[in-house]
């Protein structure tokens, strides 16, 4: 990856971690799940408002590293207004992006998330990047439960 692109990706991650979007528990939500990464201490709660098959709102509350916070922030921005099936598809594609050995380009929907693709070189950091996504998937399944990365 070129130095300029690496710098841009680092800025995206830092911006989302310092100024997370949709941070904090909302007054109302009808689905939620919590995630815990015991290796590094990341904790995240994902709150969704789902009506019918659409995600009308998404928030998160978290304590963790910059990667964990940035990923949760980007995720909540991306899934608002999507159907449950579209959000699950985003999760599958994002998970492949950060875990695949092939360094392919992110599709258009995942362009901003490409900033997190560098975690594939650090297996323990993959768990940081995917924690909120696993919690989101559990919330969509209606499982008000703790999701662990182990």
Domains, the chain, with CATH or none: 3-148 (3.90.1010.10)
Query: 82-102: per-residue pLDDT in tens?
Result: 999 999 999 999 999 999 875
Query: Reduced to 3 states, what is the DSSP secondary structure of residue 47?
Result: strand
The DSSP 8-state label assigned to residue 110 in this structure reads: G
pLDDT over 80 at 11, yes or no: yes
Separation of alpha carbons 66 and 71, rounded Å: 8
Q: Which ranges of the chain would DSSP assign to H, the alpha helix?
A: 3-18, 66-79, 84-99, 123-140
Antiparallel, parallel or unpaired: β 31-37 and 146-148: parallel
Q: Evaluate if pTM is beyond 0.85.
A: yes
């Amino acid at each position: 990856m070129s130095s300029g692109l690496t710098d841009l990706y680092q800025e995206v991650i830092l911006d989302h971690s310092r100024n997370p979007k949709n941070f904090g528990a909302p007054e109302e939500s009808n689905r939620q799940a919590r995630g815990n990464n015991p290796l590094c201490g990341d904790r995240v709660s994902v709150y969704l408002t789902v009506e019918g098959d659409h995600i009308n709102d998404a928030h998160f509350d978290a304590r963790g590293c910059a990667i964990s916070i940035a990923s949760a922030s980007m995720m909540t921005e991306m899934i608002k207004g999507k159907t449950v099936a579209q959000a699950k598809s985003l999760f599958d594609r994002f998970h492949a992006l950060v875990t695949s050995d092939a360094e392919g380009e992110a599709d258009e929907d995942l362009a901003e998330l490409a900033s997190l693709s560098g975690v594939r070189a650090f297996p323990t950091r993959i768990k940081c990047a995917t924690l909120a996504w696993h919690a989101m998937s559990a919330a969509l399944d209606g499982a008000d439960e703790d999701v662990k990365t182990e």
